[in-house]
Homo-oligomer: A and B are copies of this chain.
Amino acid sequence: MRQSQLFGKTLRESPKDEVSANAKLLERGGFVYKTMAGAYDLLPLGFRVIEKVKQVIREEMNAVGGQEMLMTALQPKERWEKTGRWKELGEEIMYQFKDHSGREVGLAVTHEEPLTEMALRSIRSYKDLPLFVYQMQTKFRDELRAKSGLLRGREFIMKDLYSFHKDTADLNHFYTKVIDHAYKNIFKRSGLEVLVAEASGGSFTKDLTHEYQVLSDEGEDVVFYCTHCNFAQNKEVATIQEGMPCPHCKGEVKKARSIEVGNIFPLGTKYSERLGLIYQNEKGEKHPVVMGSYGIGVGRLAATIVEIHHDERGILWPEAIAPYQVHLIELLGRESGSIQRVRKAVEKLYKTLLAKGVEVLYDDREEISAGEKFADADLIGIPWRVVVSEKTLKEKRLELKKRTEATPKYITEKELLRKLKRPR
């Protein structure tokens, strides 16, 4: 992509009404536009980041047998009255309103009710189980305070996986697989260290659930965690306290603020019982289906990466999530001979990289100083910066700098192409 044509310019100043790093940097970097508190438009750079996060999640969901689908946001009142959540959620965070014909509808804040109803048509026998379906869908939640950029949205993309099982043992088996494989890989590939903390189930279940927490002062949660074995509990349900020895390993327990980037709920039979999702087992006996649900906020995950991976100059995207792999910067010089030579060399390199399948943002902007180009590159945070100038041409080298490192290296084009073979 030629940066001169990119929709969404970098801003010199942070937006005045934003406090958190993700909100400031994502808006300054031209990733997002704020339509309302908690509702951000994704500009092309931000769209690419969110698509990268979705792709990582999709691969890991498919690897544990998840089938992707997409449910509606619009919901009829009657469906949610069956579980008592029309009133419960409506008082707090569910947008509910009358359509032009006077019918009451709402926007889904989660999808246990619709999916359980849908499953009535598919699940009748033990042979139809287990079943794993997920979506990455736009949720609407009327949060009282939506103030931390993409960390807490009124409109946001969420990955929600739902699992259906014949019994609790089978649920536990899958639940562990999600913890040990899918979620572990997703957060690792996103460059985040997570704690798996015990938590309460809110309106979803009365059982203990698990939250994925990333330590950060920007977080709204508070966790107690063992610095040795990583046992962790959300403050809401904590039985451990700072200073106590860890009940599992006697390690040191600390307290910290944290961001909840994911959660997993053993729902049990709450929804299947209320909505009549019953299956027949091998012996012909009827039992309610045992369910689990597994969420990750897609935008929140991207925002958390920014909170954790940034410095005073901008963002440092992990390779799997970066909008582009390479930020190619041309410094044209001042003489017309130099301008032509550099432009020609960069155009050629740009095409070579594209032909190799490398994702490149090419800063071809004229009348922008080298200093401004470098500042923008640091702000946007693409992992590799490649500079071509009269100087690098003379030396038959390219200037290559990792966003995470302080000093550049000078290498040949061949060496660059070898380096950019993506590791995964």
Question: Measuring CB to CB, which residues of chain A are less than 8 angstroms from any residue of chain B?
Answer: 1, 4-9, 11, 33, 35-36, 39-44, 46-47, 50, 65, 67-76, 79, 92-93, 95-101, 105, 114, 118-119, 121-122, 127, 131, 133, 138, 140, 142, 144, 154-155
B8 touches A142 (CB 8 A): no
Q: Inside 8 A of A46's CB, which chain B residues have their CB?
A: 69
B72 touches A7 (CB 8 A): no
Q: Inside 8 A of A35's CB, which chain B residues have their CB?
A: 71-72, 74-76, 79, 114
Q: For A40, give its contact among B4, B72, B75, B127 (CB under 8 Å).
A: B72
A69 touches B40 (CB 8 A): no
Q: Inside 8 A of A144's CB, which chain B residues have their CB?
A: 100-101
Closest B residue to A41 by CB, please name it.
B71
Number of copies: 2
Q: Inside 8 A of A50's CB, which chain B residues have their CB?
A: 70
Q: What is the CA–CA distance of A96 and B100 in the complex, to the nearest angstrom?
A: 10
A70 touches B95 (CB 8 A): no
Given A41-B114, A97-B97, the answer on whether A7 and B69 have CB atoms closer than 8 Å is yes
Given A9-B121, A97-B95, A121-B9, the answer on whether A74 and B133 have CB atoms closer than 8 Å is no
User: Secondary structure at chain A's binding surface: helix, strand, loop or mixed?
Assistant: mixed
Q: For A7, give its contact among B9, B67, B99, B142 (CB under 8 Å).
A: B67
B70 touches A142 (CB 8 A): no
- 21 pairs from A and B in contact (CB 8 Å cutoff): A6-B67, A7-B69, A7-B122, A8-B122, A33-B118, A35-B71, A35-B76, A35-B114, A36-B74, A42-B69, A44-B67, A47-B69, A72-B155, A73-B138, A73-B140, A73-B155, A74-B155, A93-B100, A97-B98, A100-B142, A101-B144
B44 touches A69 (CB 8 A): yes
Q: What is the CA–CA distance of A138 and B44 in the complex, to the nearest angstrom?
A: 17
Q: Inside 8 A of A67's CB, which chain B residues have their CB?
A: 1, 5-7, 44
Closest B residue to A50 by CB, please name it.
B70
Q: Inside 8 A of A40's CB, which chain B residues have their CB?
A: 72
- Starting from the known contacts A36-B105, A39-B72, A97-B98, 8 additional A-B residue pairs (CB-CB under 8 Å) come to A7-B122, A8-B122, A35-B75, A40-B72, A41-B70, A42-B70, A43-B118, A47-B68
A74 touches B140 (CB 8 A): yes
A47 touches B70 (CB 8 A): yes
Nearest CB on B from A35, distance (A): 5
